[in-house]
Amino acid sequence: MSIYDSLNPQQKEAVLHDKGPLLILAGAGSGKTRVLTHRIAYLIEERNVNPWNILAITFTNKAAKEMRERVDSLIGYGAEDVWVSTFHSTCVRILRRYIESIGYSKNFTIYDADDQKTLMRDVCKYLNIDTKAYKEKSILSVISNAKNELINSVEFAKDSGNDYSAKIYSKAYTEYQKRLKSNNALDFDDLIFKTIDLFKTNDEALAYFQNRFKYIMVDEYQDTNTAQFQLIYLLSSGINRDGVKENNLSVVGDDDQSIYKFRGANIHNILNFEKAYRNTKVIKLEQNYRSTKNILNAANEVILNNTTRKVKSLWTDNDEGEPLNFTVYSNDLEEAESIADSIQTSYQKGDAKLSDFAILYRTNAQSRVIEDRLVRKNIPYKIIGGVNFYARKEIKDIIAYLKTIDNGLDDIAVKRILNVPRRGIGLTTSERVETYSINNEISFYEALKNAEYVPGLERTSSRIVPFISLIEGLKNNLQSESFSLSDIIDDILDGTGYLKELETEGSDEALERINNINELINTMTYYEQNAEQPTLSGFLEEVALISAIDNLDDTADYVVLMTLHSSKGLEFPHVYLCGMEEGIFPSYMIKNADNPKEELEEERRLCYVGITRAKTTLSLSAARQRMLRGEMQYNKPSRFVYEIPRHLLKSELPNNKVESFNKKNSFGINTSFTAKPFSTLSKNIGGNNLLALDYETGDTVKHIKFGEGLVIDITKGGKDYEITVEFKKFGVKKLISSFAKLKKIE
């Protein structure tokens, strides 16, 4: 039996596709990674394609690693020669080799969001841009959008014409690029942008890679942006020996799972693929192997409300499974408590491992309450994302030292550590050095070396000298043959007294920082032992391109918490989708967006992604009130919940337990209950979901807290009703029908 026999007909067709462009529209859980890996195996084993002629591109390191492992297990040898990597690392590898032809040096550093912001702050100061009116972040986002659309600063300037704001952005863009270059640094977007730049200006480099990558595969194609599209287009447009353009490009994606528009992803890349590549073969994978029928149907129904999509419908041979849970809790604490409870119960019964559970939410901020509950119950968990490990102060400090040692041109790094730990070198000094460096067109570090000549620094220069000799000493260590990379952090810690300072402080926070630093040392040791040719630049590069999801270890047993975005591509037997509330999910941000309808559809795709992560059970939940940035929010259940057909949902028995932490709710009572919103719900044919009320004006109704009252008015407000009731004991109140569980009294 061959490895291809286990594939279904569509999968097989995709795997056995010969040459030319191939678009695989792969629904959630339809085995797309399987198809890609089998296709790679097929090309190598059956078509005698050289492994090194294959390039497979993913978005995360984790996906790349998985793909390589799977190819490895499929074929006997050669898997290690297949180039499997992310867009960004692919570009870094290309640039490390050829970047000199566009005027950077090979040991360029990569700026993360923090570095970008620091640099932009300097730029704004220099250009006298009022950062109240033009925030660093928004300027950076304008620049990022431009780069994603392959607009350089010169073209941007042309396009901005006489528009006042555009001119400011343009000036900032120009100066920002100038400084990146003099710092010998690239930001994330530059990695792609400059690679294209290189290919457009250096025919030899382009030809080399076109010739090398005869077969290209791209995963998650729906998330590519214009620049990435162009990159792939260039790489896949090589001419073969017979002078024919083969376009041996296979892309896999699902337009319904396109959730990175905010990051420049261009959904038209996938929607118009067939137009960009003539003679494209299109294959749809519609059989889902992951979820139960109930879960899949719920997902299908929700996504049906989107208008901009390729028509497809997923089906499955799997069991019907259990209906989905939907519970409305009175507040976020209770929601968290209940989720933790239910995980604990299943776990203790031995029904599942902890790693079978995932708790998904829209925003990172929501993780805090849940984390708190899990801690109290001693349930091991891991939060993916949130404050990035490499964004922590102590880690950034050490990294800045490493960058300074590696690339003295990186002014941002040098400035960061100049006075860390304190050396009595303050702002005034730093500014004088900077002025000197600008006037003399040298790097900040070079200027520091000349401190004694810098005007006004006669006295402080004595403090700068030891700093310089420290760095120079570390640089020298690195040169010596016997020196190992992993010693370098120890040397930094010793030489600077960084560790000592933390030890003396001795606070919990300081200990935590020490732990983090040790983790960094471990990472470095691991890198040194495993990399083919370990270098400091190589390590810094790896660290810069790491993503949150890469830290997910699927062999460890813990509950994972993450945003819906991070969950894409993963699957779990049991999924909790919490915070299913209007304003949270969909986010309130979409209301003020340029195109609310488009944004809503993106949120809905995100919901689709969330639902389709679940294999056997899915629990949705909402909270009637939740604390958000110190303010109490009252939200209605998410419209997405209403888009799930009633018959796919299970209503649980009321849950009236009294929790001590909940005593002080603003109503003075505990209203923990399991909502049954669908007992009173009817779905209109137009898709405009309205609650059907079982009472009308003039009826006597009963409210859980206010008791009996007379309905005096019912007004339609959006997708809900506002009910005015005159209560016997509490007077006239206005209530929202979906919250106030009013019961008609006969």
Partner DNA sequence: TGTATGGATATTTTT
Partner DNA sequence: TATCCATACA
C-alpha separations of 693 from 302, 385, 681, 741 in Å: 23, 42, 8, 10
Q: Kindly report the number of other CB atoms within 10 A of residue 285's CB atom.
A: 25
Nearer to DNA, 629 or 729 (CB): 629
Give the gyration radius of the chain's Cα atoms: 29
In angstroms, give the least distance from the CB of 658 to DNA. 23
Question: Using CB under 7 A, which of the segments 44-52, 90-98, 313-321, 541-549 binds DNA?
Answer: 541-549
Per 3-state DSSP, what percentage of the chain is helix, strand, and coil (rounded to 5)? 50, 15, 35
Distance CA 324, CA 620 (A): 7
Which residues in 365-384 contact DNA (CB under 7 A)?
A: 365, 368
Using the contact rule CB under 7 A, the part of the chain among 275-283, 485-493, 622-630, 635-643 near DNA is: 622-630
Calculate the alpha carbon distances from 127 to 160, 173, 432, 436, 560 in Å.
17, 11, 17, 17, 45
> Whole-angstrom Cα distance, residue 274 to residue 728?
67
329 exposed, middle or buried (CB, 10 Å; 0-12, 13-18, 19+)? buried
Structure tokens at 303: 């996504």
Contact (Cβ atoms closer than 8 angstroms) between residue 30 and residue 286? yes
- Which member of 210, 287, 443, 566 binds DNA (CB under 7 A)? 566
Judged by beta carbon, residue 89 or residue 300, the one nearer DNA is 89
Q: Which stretch binds DNA (CB under 7 A): 80-88, 99-107, 340-348, 491-499?
A: 80-88
- For DNA, the closer of residues 20 and 386 by Cβ is 386
Least CB distance from residue 547 to DNA, whole Å?
3
Residues 6 or more apart whose CB falls under 8 angstroms from that of 145 comprise 264
Q: Which is nearer to DNA, 241 or 629 (CB)?
A: 629
Work out whether 422 is an interface residue with DNA (CB under 7 A). yes
Per rule CB under 7 A, is residue 59 in the interface with DNA?
A: yes
Query: What tokens were used for 371?
Result: 């984390």
- Closest separation between CB of residue 122 and DNA, Å? 12
Site for DNA in 108-127 (CB under 7 A): 113, 121
Torsion from C-alpha of 286, 287, 288, 293, nearest 10 degrees: 110
Say which residues have a Cβ less than 8 Å from residue 615's Cβ, sequence separation at least 6. 290, 291, 292, 295, 571, 572, 573, 574
User: How many angstroms separate the Cα of 591 from the Cα of each of 138, 470, 481?
Assistant: 19, 53, 60
Give yes or no for a contact between 14 and 35, defined as CB atoms under 8 angstroms apart.
yes
* 743: β partners: 702
* Shortest Å distance, C-beta 192 to DNA: 8
Is 145 a binding residue for DNA by CB under 7 A? The answer is no
The reply on whether position 87 binds DNA by CB under 7 A is yes
Is residue 408 a contact partner of residue 415, using CB atoms and an 8 Å limit?
no
Binding mask 313-352 for DNA (x = CB under 7 A): ----------------------------------------
Give the nearer residue to DNA in terms of CB position, either 42 or 381: 381
Residue 593 binding DNA, by CB under 7 A? yes
Phi, psi of 685 (to 5 degrees): -65, -35
Least separation in angstroms between CB 419 and DNA? 5
Least Å distance, CB 267 to DNA, is 14
Helix (H) or strand (E) holding 726: strand 720-727
Tokens of 712: 């005096």
Which residues within the stretch 251-270 sit at the binding site for DNA (CB under 7 A)? 259, 262-263
Per-residue interface string for the shown chain with DNA, residues 184-203, x marking contact by CB under 7 A: ----x---------------
Stretch that binds DNA, among 292-300, 513-521, 585-593, 664-672 (CB under 7 A): 585-593
Cβ(299)–Cβ(314) under 8 Å? Answer: yes
596 binds DNA (CB under 7 A): no
The nearest distance, CB 655 to DNA, in angstroms, is 27
Interface pattern 159-188 for DNA (x via CB under 7 A) = -----------------------------x
What does the alpha-carbon distance between residue 393 and residue 369 come to, in Å, rounded to a whole number? 24
Instruction: Select 57 or 302, whichever has its Cβ closest to DNA.
Output: 57
Q: How far is the CB of 497 from DNA (least distance, A)?
A: 14
Among 55, 267, 425, 622, which residue sits at the site for DNA (rule: CB under 7 A)? 425
Q: If binding is defined by CB under 7 A, does position 549 make contact with DNA?
A: yes
563 binds DNA (CB under 7 A): yes
Q: Is 693 in the site for DNA (CB under 7 A)?
A: no
Interaction between residue 547 and DNA (CB under 7 A): yes
Residue 627 as a binder of DNA (CB under 7 A): the answer is yes
Give the H/E segment covering residue 344: helix 332-349
Based on the shown chain and the rule CB under 7 A, indicate whether residue 364 belongs to the binding site for DNA. yes
- Closest to DNA by CB, 492 vs 545, is 545
Judged by CB under 7 A, does residue 661 bind DNA?
Answer: no
- Total binding residues for DNA by CB under 7 A? 46
Task: Identify the three-state secondary structure at position 49.
Answer: coil
**Residue 705 and residue 730: Cα distance in Å, rounded?**
10
Q: Which two tokens stand for residue 250?
A: 């296979």
Place of tokens 């901005």: 160
Looking at the Cβ atoms of 33 and 419, the one nearer to DNA is 419
Residue in 174, 306, 363, 680 binding DNA, rule: CB under 7 A: 363
CB of 467 vs DNA, minimal distance in Å: 12
Output phi, psi for 705, to 5 deg.
-110, -45
Among 257, 355, 443, 460, binds DNA (CB under 7 A): 460
Query: First-to-last CA distance in the chain?
Result: 70
Give 745's DSSP letter: -
Q: Does 237 bind DNA (CB under 7 A)?
A: no
Could you list the active site residues? 32-33, 219-220, 257, 613
Residue 498 vs residues 358, 490, 505, 509, 706: alpha-carbon distances, Å: 38, 10, 11, 14, 61
* Paired residues of 701 in beta bridges: 709, 744
Taking CB under 7 A as the criterion, the residue among 419, 535, 633, 689 binding DNA is 419
Q: Which residues bind DNA (CB under 7 A)?
A: 59-60, 86-88, 113, 121, 132, 137, 188, 259, 262-263, 362-365, 368, 385, 388, 419, 422-429, 460, 545, 547-549, 562-563, 565-566, 587, 589-590, 593, 627, 629-631
